[in-house]
Amino acid sequence: MMELFLLEHKKLWRRTSTKISAFLCFVYLVVFGSILSFQWFNFGSKVDFTSSDFGRNFDGYAAIRDRQEYALSFGRVLTDESLQQLVQDYQQMEEADSKRAWGLTDWIILNDWLRNLWPELHESGSYQAAISYFEPEKLTDFYERRQLVLEKYLENNNQTGKEKEYLLQIDERVSKPFYYGWIQGWQNLLSKTIDLSANSMALFLAIVLSTLFAGEWHDNTSSLVLTTKNGWKKIAFAKIVTGLAFTVELFAIIAICDIVSQLFFMGTTGWDMPVQMIKLTAIAPMNMLQAEIYEWTFTLLGMVGFAGIVMLISSAVKSNVLALLLSLAVVYVPTIIDPYLPFGLQKTLSLIPLVGSGTDIFRTYTFNIFGKYIWSPYLMIVVPVLIGIVCVPIAIKKWSRMIKV
């Protein structure tokens, strides 16, 4: 059986489409999505603050170190006093050199905190950012205000009663006071980079795995299967294992390279900051490292689930093109129609492998199952891989029926 798997695995990797897909996936997600993102697109120092993201210098490594050192100069623990000092220092810096203030600080994130937590300090008709004119000494009761904002946020989302109580119980596990450091790098990683990897790898998985079974018809080799000593069942099983192996290999290539790139540019600084530093109303009792582990795990399990679906489709049709189109439709059609669907249906569709997002750890979505509320990230990491597992035996049986015809 191992020999048969190795032959199928070698056959898959020999295909030009597999090599090109793996190469393009690496270039897009690792070279552009990670390395150049850190060094240039997102974190290089600004040449001109009125230009696009490409108006940056190729100095991300040094610029990131400067921002990290600046953030750490205010102490590791976020208190009313340290926040006041942050705002005061920003205002002084902005007055002396506004470009330096914008480039060195997490001013956009801090500004959101101020606007949401101290709305009474906002001057009607003012076009200035809150962080530019809010009086630092009035910024008190940070954690109490954050709690009030969270409760109001839940009520505005019609999450009241038992659902609100359930979500607030999860939030109670969030460690306080918060640790503070440079936030923007982790925000980009957890809100964009890993999520982009999951969405993009669906395309390349579909291209490669959609031909796994359907390709036998395309290559006119299906009739040979029954004449081999192994027969259709062992070959089908070997193909399934090959498809899953390729899925894990593609994930490993991208994830390991992205993590190495992350460690090179960002190091481990700020790993212990809570995710609430990115979004104050998040309830996830996770720090940045735990959130990253969750999102990569979500991506891997989602890829495995999606691989199962693609292989089922490939086993059910005789056309490579049709298998590819149907596989892509599984992920991208729900994404396209999502804005036009009722919210409950949107949440249900998010359980399809690679349709949902690991960034749900920043949200307060729940599922009500038999009267019991379950926070969406719990289900979204389990259900997609279960869907894929269910598809595997069906794929084997489906292909066997077609190959015998």
Half-sphere exposure of residue 115, counting CA atoms within 13 Å on the CB side?
A: 14
Amino acid 226: pLDDT: 46
Which positions ≥6 away from 267 have C-beta within 8 Å? Answer: 68
Amino acid 345: pLDDT: 96
Burial environment of residue 353 by CB neighbours within 10 A (0 to 12, 13 to 18, 19 or more): buried
Amino acid 103: pLDDT: 94
Amino acid 229: pLDDT: 56
Amino acid 220: pLDDT: 57
What string of pLDDT tens digits covers the 405 residues of the chain?
A: 788 899 999 999 999 999 999 999 999 999 999 999 999 999 999 887 665 556 899 999 999 999 999 999 999 999 999 999 999 999 999 999 999 999 999 999 999 999 999 999 999 888 899 999 999 999 999 999 999 999 999 999 999 999 999 999 999 999 999 999 999 999 999 999 999 999 999 999 999 999 999 877 765 554 445 445 556 788 889 999 999 999 999 999 999 999 999 999 999 999 999 999 999 999 999 999 999 999 999 999 999 999 999 999 999 998 999 999 999 999 999 999 999 999 999 999 999 999 999 999 999 999 999 999 999 999 999 999 999 999 999 999 988 777 665
Amino acid 223: pLDDT: 45
Amino acid 224: pLDDT: 46
Amino acid 295: pLDDT: 98
Amino acid 215: pLDDT: 79
pTM: 0.95
Amino acid 279: pLDDT: 98
